[in-house]
Structure 1
Amino acid sequence: MTTTASRTDPGRTDTLLLPRIVPAPDRWPGLGFRPDVQGLRAVAVGLVLLSHAGFPRAAGGYVGVDVFFVLSGFLITSLLVKEVHATGRVSIAGFYARRARRILPAAAVVTVATALGAWVFYPVTRLESVLQDALAVVVYVVNYRFVAEQTEYLNADQAPSPFQQFWSLAVEEQFYVVWPLLLLVLLVCTGRRPRRLVAAAIVCSAVIFAATLALSVAVTAASQPTAYYAAHTRGWELAAGALLALSLPALKKTPRALAWVLGLGGLAAILLSGFMFTEATPFPGYAALAPVLGTAAVIAAGSGPGGNPASALLSTAPFQFLGRISYSLYLWHWPILILAPLALGTDPTLRLNLVLVVATVGVAQLSYAYIEEPVRNWHPLKRNAPGLLMGLTASLACAAAVLALLHVFPKTPGGTEPVDLARIEAADDLTAQEQRLRDGLETTALPADLLPPLAGMDGDRPATYDDGCHLDFDETEPPADCTYGDPGSDTIVLLYGDSHAAQWFPALDALADREGWALVSRTKSSCTPVEVHVGSTQSDGEYTECWDWKQRVQDEIADLRPDLVVFGSTDNSTPFGADDPERTWSEGWAAALGAAAEHAGAVAVLTDTPWATGEAAPECLALNPGAVQECVSEDPYALSHLDYRGLSLAAQADAGVTTIDTEPWFCVDGQCPLVVDDMAVYRDGHHVSTPYAASLATLLGDALPLPG
């Protein structure tokens, strides 16, 4: 998403320049304007738009970003090497001033406009997080913020950020910070001889290519979200472009016949990737080689002295038009696709998205004509100091606007304080609970004092999360100091399972305080206590940390000999690699319950709670504060994964343990309310809110098989 520049920056900042030396007698071949490169931009942005609009068979359009990465590496390196041959130096100030003029004006306008749009239309449950995304955009680290968010299990069903498209620009900005400085160091180390610089840079680029490709493959297998967004797993794609730029003299001698093969084959590789890859494709990893090498092939074909069909096609008017506005088109399309349906009060559809994409082309043309081009070509800004000052001013203005929306004009002042669970009133019995549920079904508008408040829903998690007693994915050792209630009590209750067990902690914690139990918490994200191997939600392989953790917990149960073990689990953890998954699931339940029952006084299992069948309750309620019943009817919660639920119930019955059916605590008369007694029942698409869980303490206590 960078463009070529054919003029040397007239500005000077001598303290950031190497001393001038006599240019090498062999001039570096100029890049000039490359219509094929402009056309590749159109292909790249077109694939991205089709994918984001939900166009059939275009789910792999995310490979358009890979095309942009190769183009950026090629164009930026071409300009820097040409500068070295022409002047004998690398102007770091000049480079950053040019980048600031090219990138920041449009990016700043889009950032502020998106932040304002989010403030007006976005669900309050996600607004603070989205504005934090905007701040990360300003400092070019939003890609690593998305790494953290996407690898967080409890964020999996949240609405996407309207700043999501900025991750790729962050990767490029990180490249822009490192690569010119590295070339400057190489220039010094090679005696400031341009030809030697090129040779050294080729070696350096090849090393970066190989090392970060290996990282990409390894990290894709371990954590695909990290590999997708991180610069250290994408660097090889930019390095591929750099290698092309450094090989430009050789590429200019590409035979015409070879150029035909490279051009057509490369374009086919890009398009086939875009239309054959899906969300399930392990990416980037090895799969990204197809669009990256395809882009490299098209660039190589267009560098030769003769024409070729691919370059000719890319040089046609439609490709040139879209390529020219591709940067603004890429920036504007995503917030428009995300925010426009919210503003219109409708669900996104393919037809609506295609209309919005067409509208975005118009917005992008205006952005290009009245923001990009005027700022980039305004003569006063072509000097280094004014250009850099403009970039700094744009970034500070963005940050100020976002901070104002966060702190000066907050939509829910004071609404993110944690809920005092000690003040939650528990239902006395099932009859009272049924009446609460029926009253909840009659709720039409959100109460002003909803608990937890919508703005604080993201942070509404059991205390075990903050205490480090609920384990994340890579942890396998049960932590010490995770005993609640009365640690010295003779009555020991152990809570065991995944996050659907952890959601019951507030109720059990209230019981432990009331009854004087010692409550030991043993829960881990996405790790069912059933004795089966399960797949990782972070990669395509097995969740080995889950299996290791379960063996340690079972050993602990054998040593501790608790009075009661309380199991909690989702019913959607399909056994990994099993020939007969259903039989394996049943046998896994039998093994887990049998091992616990051998060493515990009693065993109880809490059945899974309802899941959202559509939009998660917090988002729906935030968008429909005066129509709560519409959320209940249009995006209802219900029991899910019924096949595995039936297998679970049968296995528990065969094991002779106590099964506590929790569904009557959430649903009545075939419906599951979302607001009960001024409490939000769910904090996301499938977890119970902490105040609602605490309100079920008495019901849970009455159902547990614990003496006394």
Structure 2
Amino acid sequence: MNQPLLKQNKQPSFPNEQRKPLINIERKFRPEIEGLRVIAALLVAVYHIWLNRVSGGVDVFFVISGFLITTSIISTINRTGKFSFRAYITKLAKRLLPSVFCILGIVLILSWFLLPDSILSKTIREVFASMFFYQNWQLAFSSTDYLDASQMKSPVEHFWALSIQGQFYLIWFLVFTLILFIIKKYKLTKVKTLINTILGVLFVSSFIYSIYLTAVDQPWAYFITMTRVWEFSLGSLLCVNLSSIKINKYIATIIGWLGLIGLVLTGIVFNVSEMFPGYVAIWPMTCALFIVLSGTRETKYGIKRFLGSPLMVKLGGISFGIYLWHWVILEFYRYNVQETPGVVVGLLIIISSVALSFLMTRYIEAPLRSSSNNKYAFSRLAILGSINILLIGSLLTQMYIDQSKPQKVMDTKNYPGALAVNNPDDVPDEDPLPALSDVFNDLPKAHLDGSNQGLKESDLKVGEYGETENYDATIALVGSSHSEHWLGALLKATKNENYRILNITRSGTRFSTGYSDDDLKGIWVNNALNYLKNEDVDLIVSQATAADTSNEKIQQQMIDQLQFVKDEYDIEVLAIRDSPRYSFNVLESLETAGLEETIKKMNKTDNQKDESFWKQFESENQSLNKMDLTNYFKIDGKYQPIIGNIVIHRDDRHLTNSYSESFAPIFKEKINSILKNN
């Protein structure tokens, strides 16, 4: 992101005889960096708007930010001989907070009128996180929650990068405070060597950690601060050493254009959202370095002539706002008009972002940034921040009032759910439940009480429900979230039975033979097997296929695991065919596109690719009990988002707990027939 703060000072340093500089760095204005900023911002916007991909532009912002903030810090030390936290943080706040508070306030106002109910609470949390610069951690925890990762994106999700920058600036204050302390304490003269050593250690350690964590937990690695420090460090190292790097003008011309072309292609060549910030991020980093190095030479056909042109420099000055505004406009458009903008609408979004950024910079940011009266500036910031807090409080109050209103009871007559598929015309006309604002949080009990296993854990966690003493039988629900979402049906089906119910589930982990023993998923599966071997379990209920793949090997590995438990542990098995999965968020579509359009989208593609495997399994395997519930997701042969006045899906593949519970009579009959016949 572009911050006006990070423009390099055009004024010369104080003479050496007045004050000895920390180290000598180039402080001249670099117009090509301004142009690089706007290229990065526009790449982010273009990839978001039309390609629905991540461009790698944010990584370039991080390199530029490292370069420019290091220039600013060293220049301040060279000029004053000291490094004051108060002056440093005051300058940052005056340049960052006006735009941030302004945009977040507008988002809150628009959210009240234009945001789908189901995304409102998520947006409020993320606005608050963005105000206090921890949005990246908010998203990190959300992205590693398997069921939360599929929720709709908020209009402020992109603030994660700004939060990392804010945290980085604080880290860099500590780094240079440490450097000054070491220099003064030990009277060091080789200052540049010390700075390079410390920055080099940060670069190497963060880069290695980034590669490791991207390989083992990429969603977590993508958002956390430590995996991004190397990108800032790279820019800082470039700042410290740029004056020592000499290249001829021909090489400068070539690498400059190569850098720009490579940067534009980053999001096409790589799936950035799934591969970054590991070693693949070296690509856009190198592109940015090429462009900066190219700008050290004046060449007739070099990239500097383009990036340093008056128009690009002007746009570079507002690129921070372009980055922040484009996503806000895009998401509100998607929620209220259509998912993917056309060429004309996309261009209008970009033009609007430029216009809003210009107005915001000129009339809100610039007056506070340039004000020499800190009391005036911070009183205005306090007003903006207070307005946002009041808006957040008002939205939360309204949500609380809405949720406190008496809710209709889901009786089987008015809300039969799955039981209505055979006689849909007999269902009374009622507003569907849960309310769309509550659907996303309509979760299985195991997910609410924490007995579902998280993606980072392999130790077994078992949830115990129903009768826990003197029970007649034990039923274990085993597998991934596609097993877990049947817990509602299982608990309601056995409510009046003397059964103990165990939940043994782990998000994203099928009960399958397809994992290696040293993989977290494989370790968990082995732990589950050991538990089942030693525990008195009468029946295992589990997802037996994956509807999003026709790969028979994947399907067979689940059957093999269930067959193993049946044969080796002598435990009865109820194998459930996977419920339908979709290529879009059903809840989001219901709120933005409406019922009829959602039904059309649901029936355009193959939602159950396990069809041929399941038919073969049903005809050939006679030792496992089976249950295919596919017909309970259709009316007249068409998949539906709402049946029997109950909303079926909370995202693109998981059932609401309410719809799961409507299967209780079906599960009760099946389970009792299995247990009472054995």
TM (norm. structure 2) is 0.89
Aligned residue among 271, 280, 283 for 1:290: 283
Q: Which residue of 2 aligns with 1:691?
A: 658
Q: Which residue of 1 aligns with 2:674?
A: 706
Is the 2:418–2:662 contact (alpha carbons within 8 Å) kept by the matching residues of 1? no
Per-residue deviation at 1:40? 0.9
Q: Which residue of 2 aligns with 1:350?
A: 342
Q: Give, in whole Å, the separation in 1 of the partners of 2:604 and 2:148.
A: 18
- Map 1:169-180 → 2, pairs under 5 A: 169-180=162-173
Aligned residue among 568, 577, 582 for 2:543: 568
Q: Does 1:530 align with 2:512?
A: yes
Instruction: Give CA-to-partner distance per residue, 1:123-159, whole Å, 9 cap, x none.
Output: 1011011110000001100011111112221133322
- Map 1:313-462 → 2, pairs under 5 A: 313-343=306-336, 345-351=337-343, 352-381=345-374, 386-387=376-377, 390-407=380-397, 409-410=398-399, 413-414=402-403, 425=412, 433-435=420-422, 437-439=424-426, 447=431, 450-462=432-444
Q: Does 1:546 align with 2:514?
A: no
Q: Give, in whole Å, the separation in 1 of the partners of 2:260 and 2:579.
A: 49
Q: Does 1:620 align with 2:602?
A: no
Residue ranges of structure 1 left out of the alignment (5+ in a row): 9-20, 535-541, 576-580
Instruction: Give CA-to-partner distance per residue, 1:515-536, whole Å, 9 cap, x none.
Output: 21122222221222232239xx
Q: Give, in whole Å, the separation in 1 of the partners of 2:466 and 2:573.
A: 19
Task: Label 1:673 to 1:587 Cα distance change in 2 as closer, same or farther (>3 A).
Answer: closer
Percent identity (aligned): 23
- Map 1:245-284 → 2, pairs under 5 A: 245-251=239-245, 254-279=247-272, 282-284=275-277
What secondary structure sits across from 1:153 in the alignment? Answer: coil
Residue ranges of structure 2 left out of the alignment (5+ in a row): 12-16
Q: Does 1:596 align with 2:566?
A: yes
Q: Which residue of 2 aligns with 1:217?
A: 211
Per-residue deviation at 1:426? 8.6
Q: Does 1:6 align with 2:9?
A: yes
Aligned residue among 77, 87, 100 for 1:84: 77
What secondary structure sits across from 2:515 in the alignment? Answer: coil
**AA of the residue aligned to 1:622:** E
Q: Give, in whole Å, the separation in 2 of the partners of 1:26 and 1:43.
A: 33
Q: Which residue of 2 aligns with 1:582?
A: 552
Is the 2:537–2:571 contact (alpha carbons within 8 Å) kept by the matching residues of 1? yes
Q: Does 1:660 align with 2:660?
A: no
**AA of the residue aligned to 1:655:** N
Is the 2:19–2:79 contact (alpha carbons within 8 Å) kept by the matching residues of 1? yes
Q: Does 1:54 align with 2:50?
A: yes
What count of residue pairs does the alignment treat as equivalent? Answer: 664
Per-residue deviation at 1:72? 0.7
Per-residue deviation at 1:502? 1.1
**Higher alpha-carbon deviation: 329-338 or 490-499:** 490-499
Task: Label 1:178 to 1:309 Cα distance change in 2 as closer, same or farther (>3 A).
Answer: same
Per-residue deviation at 1:45? 0.9
What secondary structure sits across from 2:574 in the alignment? Answer: strand
Q: Does 1:160 align with 2:128?
A: no
Q: Which residue of 2 aligns with 1:509?
A: 491
**AA of the residue aligned to 1:91:** S
Task: Label 1:431 to 1:7 Cα distance change in 2 as closer, same or farther (>3 A).
Answer: closer
Per-residue deviation at 1:338? 0.7
**AA of the residue aligned to 2:420:** Q
What secondary structure sits across from 1:521 in the alignment? Answer: strand
Is the 1:325–1:368 contact (alpha carbons within 8 Å) kept by the matching residues of 2? yes
Per-residue deviation at 1:111? 0.8
Q: Which residue of 2 aligns with 1:16?
A: none
**Higher alpha-carbon deviation: 233-242 or 686-695:** 686-695
Instruction: Give CA-to-partner distance per residue, 1:61-111, whole Å, 9 cap, x none.
Output: 2x1111111111111111111111111111322222221222111111111
Q: Which residue of 1 aligns with 2:14?
A: none
Q: Give, in whole Å, the separation in 1 of the partners of 2:114 and 2:181.
A: 53
Task: Label 1:439 to 1:141 Cα distance change in 2 as closer, same or farther (>3 A).
Answer: farther
Per-residue deviation at 1:622? 3.5
Q: Give, in whole Å, the separation in 1 of the partners of 2:457 and 2:407.
A: 26
Q: Give, in whole Å, the separation in 1 of the partners of 2:142 and 2:407.
A: 21
What secondary structure sits across from 2:147 in the alignment? Answer: helix
Q: Give, in whole Å, the separation in 2 of the partners of 1:467 and 1:244.
A: 50
Task: Label 1:25 to 1:428 Cα distance change in 2 as closer, same or farther (>3 A).
Answer: closer
Per-residue deviation at 1:695? 2.2
Is the 2:589–2:598 contact (alpha carbons within 8 Å) kept by the matching residues of 1? yes
What secondary structure sits across from 1:589 in the alignment? Answer: helix
Q: Give, in whole Å, the separation in 2 of the partners of 1:435 and 1:587.
A: 34
Is the 1:613–1:637 contact (alpha carbons within 8 Å) kept by the matching residues of 2? no
Per-residue deviation at 1:335? 0.5
What secondary structure sits across from 2:496 in the alignment? Answer: helix
Is the 2:54–2:267 contact (alpha carbons within 8 Å) kept by the matching residues of 1? yes
What secondary structure sits across from 1:294 in the alignment? Answer: helix
Q: Which residue of 1 aligns with 2:91?
A: 98
**Higher alpha-carbon deviation: 111-120 or 389-398:** 389-398
Q: Give, in whole Å, the separation in 2 of the partners of 1:516 and 1:483.
A: 11
What secondary structure sits across from 2:598 in the alignment? Answer: helix
Per-residue deviation at 1:185? 2.5
Instruction: Give CA-to-partner distance per residue, 1:339-381, whole Å, 9 cap, x none.
Output: 02434x3343232223322222222222222223232223434
**AA of the residue aligned to 1:414:** Q
Q: Give, in whole Å, the separation in 2 of the partners of 1:527 and 1:87.
A: 58
Per-residue deviation at 1:638? 8.3
Is the 1:92–1:181 contact (alpha carbons within 8 Å) kept by the matching residues of 2? no
Aligned residue among 17, 25, 28 for 2:24: 28
Is the 2:23–2:191 contact (alpha carbons within 8 Å) kept by the matching residues of 1? no
Q: Give, in whole Å, the separation in 2 of the partners of 1:125 and 1:26.
A: 54
Per-residue deviation at 1:250? 1.9
Task: Label 1:272 to 1:220 Cα distance change in 2 as closer, same or farther (>3 A).
Answer: same
Task: Label 1:424 to 1:194 Cα distance change in 2 as closer, same or farther (>3 A).
Answer: farther
Q: Which residue of 1 aligns with 2:456?
A: 474
Task: Label 1:120 to 1:481 Cα distance change in 2 as closer, same or farther (>3 A).
Answer: closer
Task: Label 1:99 to 1:429 Cα distance change in 2 as closer, same or farther (>3 A).
Answer: closer
**Higher alpha-carbon deviation: 197-206 or 494-503:** 197-206
**AA of the residue aligned to 1:241:** G
Q: Which residue of 2 aligns with 1:464?
A: 446
**Higher alpha-carbon deviation: 261-270 or 651-660:** 261-270
Q: Which residue of 2 aligns with 1:71?
A: 64
What secondary structure sits across from 1:567 in the alignment? Answer: strand
What secondary structure sits across from 2:314 in the alignment? Answer: helix
Is the 2:439–2:647 contact (alpha carbons within 8 Å) kept by the matching residues of 1? no
Q: Give, in whole Å, the separation in 1 of the partners of 2:288 and 2:589.
A: 42
What secondary structure sits across from 2:542 in the alignment? Answer: strand
Q: Does 1:485 align with 2:467?
A: yes
Q: Which residue of 1 aligns with 2:227?
A: 233
Q: Which residue of 2 aligns with 1:521?
A: 503
What secondary structure sits across from 2:638 in the alignment? Answer: coil
RMSD of aligned Cα (Å):
3.3
Q: Does 1:610 align with 2:599?
A: no
Task: Label 1:584 to 1:146 Cα distance change in 2 as closer, same or farther (>3 A).
Answer: closer
**AA of the residue aligned to 1:38:** E
Task: Label 1:601 to 1:28 Cα distance change in 2 as closer, same or farther (>3 A).
Answer: closer
Per-residue deviation at 1:240? 0.9
Is the 1:493–1:564 contact (alpha carbons within 8 Å) kept by the matching residues of 2? yes
